[in-house]
C-alpha cells in the first residue's frame, strides 16, 4: 500500500505540469501576437507621420508664442489747462473726431482777444506809417522851397555887399580931396560890414535849408522803407500779428480734445477738475479694427519664410473654429533678447547657446476682424504654409 501512493501522486502531477506548460505557451503566443500588433501599429504611425511630414509638415511652421498688438494712439493735451468735462470712459468705443475731454477755455479766449487787438494795432501802425510818408514828402517839398528862398536871400546879400563895397571905395577916393566928410566914410564902412555880415548869414541860411531838406529826405526814405513793396495785408508786422492770432485760435480749439482715430478707450487717467499738463498722456485709444499679430518664431523655423507668405491664425478667445487668414508683412530688426531692456551679454566665458526667437508681423483680414474682434495682448497660434 505504501508503494502505491507515490505512484498515484506521480501520475497526478504529470497532467498538471503539462497543463501549466500549455498555459505558458498560450500566454507567450498571445504576447507575441500583441507585440507584433504593437510593432505594426508603431510602423503604421511612423509611416503615416512620415507621409504627413513629406506631404505637409515640412512645408509648415507654427508657433503658439504669438500675441495681438496694435498701433495705439496716445491722447495728450497740447496745452495745459483744467479739465471741465470728461465725456468718455474706459472700454468705450469712439470714432475719429469725437469729443473726449473739454478743457477750461478762459485763458485761451483772453489770448485770442489780445491777439486780435495786436492785429488791429499793427494795421493801424501801417496806415499811420503810410500816411506819414505823404506828410514827409510835403516837408521835403517845403524844405526845397526854403532852399530857393535862402538862395534868393543870398543873391540879395551879395548884391548889397557889392553895392556897399563900391560906395565905400568911392567915398574913400574922395577923402583926400575933402569932398566927403569922415562921418560919411564911417557910415560907408559900417554899411559894408553890415552887408558882409548879411552875406555870411544868407550863406548859412542856404546851408541850413539844405541840411533841413536832407534830414527830411532821410526821414522820408526811412519811412518809405517801412511800407515799400507792402500792403496792409502783407506788412511784416501785420503778418506776425496774424500768426499770433492763428496760434491763439489754435490753442482755443485745442481746449476741446478729440479722438485721433477710431477705437476703444483704454487707460483713462483724467478726471473732472484735474489740471492736465501739456504733453502728458491722459488716455489711449486702441484701433481694434487694425490690430495685427506679432509672432515669435525660432530662428531655425524662418529659413523658408518670406514676406507676403500666407498664414493661418487662431485665437484662444474663439478657439479653433475661428480661423483668421493673414499674411506676413515684415520681420523685426532684432531678436526679442537683443531688444530687451537688459540685452544678453554673450561675450563672456560662460556662454551657452540659446535658440533665439525673431518676431514677425502678420496682417489680418479686416472683414474677419470685423466679424470676430480681437483685443491687444490676446494669445494666438500661427501657422505659415511655406509651400505658398
**pTM exceeds cut of 0.95:** no
Average pLDDT over residues 278-285: 92
Q: DSSP characters for 134-195?
A: HHHHHHHHHHHHHHHHHHHHHHHHHHHHHHHHHHHHHHHHHHTTT-S-HHHHHHHHHHHHHH
Cell of 159: 548884391
Report whether 112 contacts 245 (CB < 8 A): yes
Quick check: 15 pLDDT over 70?
Answer: no
Which part of the chain is CATH 2.40.50.100?
73-105+254-283
Give the pLDDT of residue 253: 94
CATH architecture of 73-105+254-283: Beta Barrel (2.40)
CATH architecture of 60-72+286-385: Beta Barrel (2.40)
Give the pLDDT of residue 179: 64
| C-alpha neighbours within 13 Å on the C-beta side of residue 284 | 10
Please tell me which residue, 20 or 243, carries the higher pLDDT value. 243
At the topology level of CATH, where does 107-250 sit?
A: Helix Hairpins (1.10.287)
Query: Nearest CA to 297 among 70, 58, 62?
Result: 62
Give the pLDDT of residue 2: 47
Which part of the chain is CATH 1.10.287.620?
107-250
Lowest mean pLDDT among 78-87, 153-162, 233-242, 314-323: 153-162
Quick check: 5 pLDDT over 70?
Answer: no
For 43, the 3-state DSSP assignment is: helix
Give the pLDDT confidence of 292-309 residue by residue, as tens digits. 999 999 888 888 888 888
Give the pLDDT of residue 1: 47
Quick check: 69 pLDDT over 50?
Answer: yes
- How many residues are there in the chain? 388
Which part of the chain is CATH 2.40.30.170?
60-72+286-385
Please tell me which residue, 220 or 5, carries the higher pLDDT value. 220
Quick check: 199 pLDDT over 90?
Answer: no
Lowest mean pLDDT among 83-92, 258-267, 344-353, 362-371: 344-353
CA angle, 127 then 129 then 133, to 5°:
115
Amino acid at each position: 500500500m505504501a508503494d502505491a501512493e507515490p505512484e498515484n501522486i506521480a501520475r497526478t502531477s504529470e497532467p498538471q505540469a503539462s497543463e501549466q506548460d500549455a498555459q505558458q505557451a498560450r500566454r507567450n503566443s498571445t504576447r507575441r501576437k500583441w507585440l507584433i500588433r504593437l510593432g505594426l501599429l508603431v510602423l503604421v504611425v511612423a509611416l503615416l507621420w512620415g507621409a504627413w511630414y513629406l506631404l505637409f509638415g515640412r512645408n509648415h511652421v507654427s508657433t503658439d508664442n504669438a500675441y495681438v498688438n496694435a498701433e495705439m494712439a496716445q491722447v495728450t493735451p497740447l496745452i495745459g489747462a483744467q479739465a471741465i468735462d470728461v465725456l468718455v470712459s474706459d472700454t468705450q468705443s469712439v470714432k475719429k473726431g469725437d469729443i473726449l475731454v473739454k478743457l477750461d477755455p478762459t485763458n485761451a479766449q483772453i489770448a485770442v482777444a489780445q491777439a486780435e487787438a495786436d492785429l488791429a494795432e499793427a494795421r493801424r501802425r501801417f496806415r499811420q506809417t503810410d500816411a506819414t510818408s505823404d506828410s514827409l514828402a510835403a516837408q521835403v517839398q517845403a524844405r526845397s522851397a526854403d532852399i530857393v528862398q535862402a538862395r534868393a536871400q543870398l543873391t540879395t546879400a551879395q548884391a548889397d555887399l557889392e553895392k556897399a563895397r563900391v560906395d565905400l571905395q568911392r567915398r574913400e577916393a574922395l577923402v583926400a580931396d575933402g569932398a566927403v566928410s569922415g562921418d560919411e566914410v564911417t557910415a560907408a564902412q559900417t554899411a559894408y560890414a553890415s552887408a558882409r555880415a548879411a552875406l555870411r548869414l544868407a550863406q548859412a541860411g542856404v546851408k541850413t535849408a539844405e541840411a533841413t531838406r536832407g534830414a527830411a529826405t532821410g526821414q522820408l526814405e526811412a519811412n518809405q522803407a517801412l511800407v515799400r513793396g507792402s500792403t496792409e495785408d502783407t506788412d511784416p508786422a501785420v503778418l506776425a500779428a496774424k500768426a499770433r492770432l492763428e496760434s491763439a485760435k489754435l490753442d482755443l480749439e485745442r481746449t476741446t480734445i478729440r479722438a485721433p482715430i477710431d477705437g476703444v478707450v483704454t487707460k483713462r487717467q483724467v478726471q473732472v477738475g484735474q489740471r492736465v499738463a501739456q504733453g502728458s498722456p491722459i488716455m489711449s485709444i486702441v484701433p481694434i479694427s487694425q490690430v495685427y499679430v506679432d509672432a515669435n518664431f525660432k530662428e531655425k523655423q524662418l529659413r523658408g519664410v518670406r514676406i507676403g507668405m500666407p498664414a493661418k491664425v487662431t485665437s484662444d478667445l474663439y478657439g479653433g473654429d475661428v480661423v483668421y487668414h493673414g499674411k506676413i508683412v515684415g520681420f523685426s530688426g532684432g531678436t526679442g533678447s537683443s531688444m530687451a531692456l537688459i540685452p544678453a551679454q554673450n561675450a563672456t566665458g560662460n556662454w551657452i547657446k540659446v535658440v533665439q526667437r525673431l518676431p514677425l508681423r502678420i496682417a489680418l483680414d479686416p472683414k474677419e476682424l470685423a466679424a470676430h474682434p480681437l483685443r491687444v495682448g490676446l494669445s494666438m497660434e500661427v501657422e505659415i504654409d511655406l509651400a505658398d
